[in-house]
Amino acid sequence: MEYDKYAHEPFAVTADLAVLTILDGVLHVLLVERGQEPYQGHWALPGGFVQPDESAETAARRELAEETGLSDVSGLHLEQLRTYSEPDRDPRMRVVTVAFTALLPHPPEPHGGSDAAQARWVPYDTAGPLAFDHDRILADAHERVGAQLEHTCLATAFCPPEFTLGELQQVYETVWGTALDRPNFRRKVLATPGFVEPVPGAARLTGGRGKPATLYRAGAATTLRPPLLRPTSEGRPA
Amino acid sequence: MEYDKYAHEPFAVTADLAVLTILDGVLHVLLVERGQEPYQGHWALPGGFVQPDESAETAARRELAEETGLSDVSGLHLEQLRTYSEPDRDPRMRVVTVAFTALLPHPPEPHGGSDAAQARWVPYDTAGPLAFDHDRILADAHERVGAQLEHTCLATAFCPPEFTLGELQQVYETVWGTALDRPNFRRKVLATPGFVEPVPGAARLTGGRGKPATLYRAGAATTLRPPLLRPTSEGRPA
DNA sequence: CCCTTAATAGTCAGTACGACTATAAAGAGG
DNA sequence: CCTCTTTATAGTCGTACTGACTATTAAGGG
């Protein structure tokens, strides 16, 4: 790195977030409506400028707290996705964006955020054309999360502290968009030590219609060996 | 993203590279010796400032060409690793670094690079304390490449256009640091459609001592389904 | 009281995998 | 020229895992 080259051009650096959650069995993403040009009135991923004293991670967590109104975002899953730096991705100036993915269990109502724009949970499939290159960022986030489900215990990040195996399976089915065989999924999950552990208490009391399910907690494991691969569905180009 | 917040602070953006290759069965990384403060005389990952008209990817590829002296870097594997943005990672100013990994088959002698510093291939294990947070970047790159070998056909990027299965296996063994069973490795690789394809010509003529091996080319596949998992070695914390 | 719903248990054949053994084809050294 | 070493390649075998099922259990709804 050559330092005397500096002052060539300053970059603005932002941290943008693809905040995903599952509402009523449908994958949702948190979007904000832009209150100003460019792309005024368009929907975009929440985010903001990285401040002088914070890292991109810190900025992302701060923005996440502001946009969702969550009081405690310290335990939430936040992961760097990748950085987008094409010169023309912003019509106004040179902006480099470090994108993050965040996974929420049962999300709160986003209360407009601290900024003028309003925030809303939007079904992933109907997240129309977004501002800037946010369509691509969102697609990258979806693909990344889908891939992570195969190799990590990340799925529990979509679930509340205590959950049933049915709910965990729904996470996989929702993100992957495929149906899974229930007994096989159960066998696989329980055979992975540290993925989930049963809650000593009793079964679920919620207004479910069928047999009550036992509740589980996230275990200590983070990686899935062997992985839980999504159905080949032959279509996936190798 | 709020634009009127801009002008708060300019960031310098650099693209740094963890260029890996295998020399004599040992994983090597390309390092440059810094010619100026800070960290003058220390070794560091090659890299440089992103110019106004280029993306981080473009800058990384340009730096790669400059440092390695390769005339054609268009076909080489280059992949974004992650971005490092801690406020204090550079003692001089606020620098955000987009890190990349690059994989080379048979590398050329690095001829000092275009910048004053000299460049050299250094065994990964002896890549001592590096400047800035480059130790961490290098470790992240190693871990990422190791993980990619499990799920992608990336290993061929370490090999010349035509290679033997023994050479391909050596890539896995070198990066993972573990020995693999040769017949099983061979069975697995050949059972994955599109991973490698035999070269119609004859076997290798090189001065090998044993039975000549058939030559293979990289196939069209990019992902490995099912994955080629590294030996559990029980030690890996799940 | 029966039907529906959902959770959980269990079966079974095909496949993948790890650990081996065996054979083939080259060079090295006497 | 023969043998030993080296490396590639072929094949075996028992275990574990997977996908596709069927069966049973425990709730709620009409």
Written as one string, the DSSP assignment of B60-121 is: HHHHHHHHH--S--TTSEEEEEEEE--TTSSSSS-EEEEEEEEE-SSPPPP---SSSS-EEE
Taken in order of first residue, the domains within chain A and their CATH numbers are 12-149 (3.90.79.10), 160-218 (1.10.10.10)
Q: Is A77 helix (H, G, I), strand (E, B) or coil?
A: strand
Question: What is the model's pLDDT at position B36?
Answer: 84
Evaluate whether A5 touches B51 at the Cβ level (below 8 Å): no
Q: Determine whether the interchain pair A50/B85 forms a contact, defined as Cβ–Cβ distance below 8 Å.
A: yes
What are residue B197's DSSP bridge partners? Answer: B217
Average pLDDT, chain B: 88
Greater confidence (A209 vs A99) lies with A99
- Mean pLDDT of the region B128-143: 96
Taking the C-alpha atoms of residue B29 and residue B120, their distance in angstroms, rounded to an integer, is 8
Question: What is the model's pLDDT at position B114?
Answer: 56
CA-to-C1' span, B158 to D6 (A) = 25
Q: Is the pLDDT of residue A7 over 70?
A: no
Q: Which residues of B135-155 are buried (b: 16+ CB within 10 A; e: fewer)?
A: eebbebbbebbebbbbbbbbb
- Mean pLDDT of the region B85-95: 94
A223 contact B CB<8A: yes
CA-to-C1' span, B205 to D6 (A) = 15
pLDDT in tens, A185-228: 999 999 999 999 999 876 666 667 888 999 999 999 999 999 99
Q: Is the pLDDT of residue B20 over 60?
A: yes
Question: What is the model's pLDDT at position B209?
Answer: 83
Q: Which of residues 123-152 of B touch A (CB under 8 A)?
A: 132, 151
A179 CB below 7 A from strand C atoms = no
Q: Determine whether the interchain pair B10/A10 forms a contact, defined as Cβ–Cβ distance below 8 Å.
A: yes
Distance from CA of A210 to the nearest CA of B (A): 34
Question: What is the model's pLDDT at position B8?
Answer: 54
Question: What is the model's pLDDT at position B180?
Answer: 97
Taking the C-alpha atoms of residue A166 and residue A169, their distance in angstroms, rounded to an integer, is 5
Taking the C-alpha atoms of residue B85 and residue B11, their distance in angstroms, rounded to an integer, is 10
Most confident of A34-38, A106-110, A128-132: A128-132
Residues in Cβ contact with B128 at an 8 Å cutoff, skipping those fewer than 6 apart: B43
- The percentage of chain A sitting over the pLDDT mark of 70, rounded to a whole number, equals 87
The DSSP code for A125 is: G
CA-to-C1' span, A73 to D3 (A) = 73
Taking the C-alpha atoms of residue A19 and residue B7, their distance in angstroms, rounded to an integer, is 27
CA-to-C1' span, A211 to C8 (A) = 9
Question: What is the model's pLDDT at position B35?
Answer: 86
Q: Is B169 helix (H, G, I), strand (E, B) or coil?
A: helix
Taking the C-alpha atoms of residue A176 and residue A159, their distance in angstroms, rounded to an integer, is 16
- Measured between beta carbons, the chain B residues lying within 8 angstroms of A83 are 56, 80, 82-83, 98
The two structure tokens encoding residue A116: 């003028």
Q: Residue A146 phi/psi, 5° resolution?
A: -60, -40
- Of B111, B132, B131, B130, nearest to B120 by C-alpha is B111
- Mean pLDDT of the region B117-123: 87
Greater confidence (A72 vs B141) lies with B141
Nearest nucleotide to A226, CA against C1' atoms: D17
Q: Is the pLDDT of residue A72 over 80?
A: no
Q: Determine whether the interchain pair B82/A86 forms a contact, defined as Cβ–Cβ distance below 8 Å.
A: no
Tell me which chain A residue has its CA closest to the CA of residue B49.
Answer: A1
To 10 degrees, what angle do helices B165-176 and B134-151 make? 140
Q: Determine whether the interchain pair B16/A36 forms a contact, defined as Cβ–Cβ distance below 8 Å.
A: no
Q: Determine whether the interchain pair A85/B56 forms a contact, defined as Cβ–Cβ distance below 8 Å.
A: yes
B188 CB below 7 A from strand C atoms = yes
Q: Is the pLDDT of residue B182 over 80?
A: yes
Greater confidence (A72 vs B231) lies with B231
Greater confidence (B183 vs A71) lies with B183
- Mean pLDDT of the region B173-190: 97
Average pLDDT, chain A: 88
Evaluate whether B110 touches B69 at the Cβ level (below 8 Å): yes
Q: Which residues of B162-184 are buried (b: 16+ CB within 10 A; e: fewer)?
A: ebbbebbbbbbbbbbeeebeeee
Taking the C-alpha atoms of residue B87 and residue A56, their distance in angstroms, rounded to an integer, is 9
Greater confidence (B14 vs B69) lies with B14
Distance from CA of B137 to the nearest CA of A (A): 14
pLDDT band at B235 (very low <50, low <70, confident <90, very high): very low
Q: Which of residues 154-183 of B touch A (CB under 8 A)?
A: none
Q: Is the pLDDT of residue A135 over 70?
A: yes
Question: What is the model's pLDDT at position B69?
Answer: 79
Taking the C-alpha atoms of residue B3 and residue B181, their distance in angstroms, rounded to an integer, is 57
Maximum C-alpha span of chain B: 70
Greater confidence (A110 vs B39) lies with B39
Taking the C-alpha atoms of residue A100 and residue A128, their distance in angstroms, rounded to an integer, is 20
B179 CB below 7 A from strand C atoms = no
Question: What is the model's pLDDT at position A9?
Answer: 64
- The percentage of chain A sitting over the pLDDT mark of 90, rounded to a whole number, equals 73
B88 contact A CB<8A: no
Greater confidence (B25 vs B8) lies with B25
Evaluate whether A168 touches A156 at the Cβ level (below 8 Å): yes
Q: Is the pLDDT of residue A115 over 60?
A: no
Greater confidence (A237 vs A151) lies with A151
Q: Determine whether the interchain pair A55/B85 forms a contact, defined as Cβ–Cβ distance below 8 Å.
A: yes
Q: Is the pLDDT of residue A178 over 90?
A: yes
- Mean pLDDT of the region A161-165: 94
Question: What is the model's pLDDT at position B147?
Answer: 96
pLDDT in tens, B35-85: 888 999 999 999 999 999 999 999 999 999 988 777 778 888 999 999 999
B121 residue type, one letter? W
